[in-house]
């Protein structure tokens, strides 16, 4: 298995259950979010781009399960396609702090 998919010995910032109940989004403090398949007990996708080393940063999945959304220590919010891991959008504010992300 690719070591970039490993979550062992990583600090976790946020954990979110996918709407279908069969996947788990894990936001680790290593700048990577991972989608874990609970049936296969393995990481099936990773999402990169947001920064998270020190602060508590939240992430979530849209109710339809199609997109992963996350705040970041760079003051931006990121959106990825949940299935492909492709970054589809980046929203930035002009403050020097973590983007206060809340999808709803």
pLDDT tens across 30-51, in order? 888 999 999 998 999 999 988 7
- 103 domain residue, yes or no: no
Q: Please, what is the average pLDDT of the chain?
A: 83
Each of the 104 residues of the chain gets a pLDDT tens digit; together they read 444 455 667 778 889 999 999 999 998 888 889 999 999 989 999 999 887 877 778 899 999 999 999 988 888 889 999 999 999 999 887 655 554 555 54
Q: Strand order of the sheet with strand 23-28? A: 12-17, 23-28, 32-37, 42-48
- DSSP tag of 96: S
CB atoms under 10 Å from CB of 25, counted, come to 22
- DSSP tag of 4: G
d(CA 80, CA 98): 18
- 81 domain residue, yes or no: yes
- 77 domain residue, yes or no: yes
- 76 domain residue, yes or no: yes
- 1 domain residue, yes or no: no
User: What total of structural domains would you count in the chain?
Assistant: 1
- 3 domain residue, yes or no: no
Give strand ranges (E) for 1-104: 12-17, 23-28, 32-37, 42-48, 59-61, 67-70, 76-81, 87-92
Provide the percentage of residues in the chain whose pLDDT is more than 70.
Answer: 81
State the pairing for strand pair 32-37/42-48: antiparallel
pLDDT at 8: 67
Question: Which residue range forms the structural domain that includes residue 86?
Answer: 9-92
d(CA 104, CA 96): 23
Question: pTM of the predicted model, to two decimals?
Answer: 0.80
């Amino acid at each position: 298995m690719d070591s970039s998919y490993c979550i062992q010995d990583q600090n976790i910032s946020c954990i979110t259950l996918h709407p279908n109940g069969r996947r788990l989004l894990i936001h680790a403090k290593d700048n990577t979010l991972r989608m874990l398949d609970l049936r296969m007990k393995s990481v099936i996708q990773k999402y990169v781009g947001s920064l998270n080393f020190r602060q508590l940063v939240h992430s979530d999945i849209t109710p339809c399960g199609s997109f992963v959304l996350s705040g970041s220590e760079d003051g931006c919010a990121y959106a990825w396609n949940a299935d492909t891991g492709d970054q589809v959008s980046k929203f930035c504010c002009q403050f020097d702090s973590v983007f206060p992300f809340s999808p709803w």
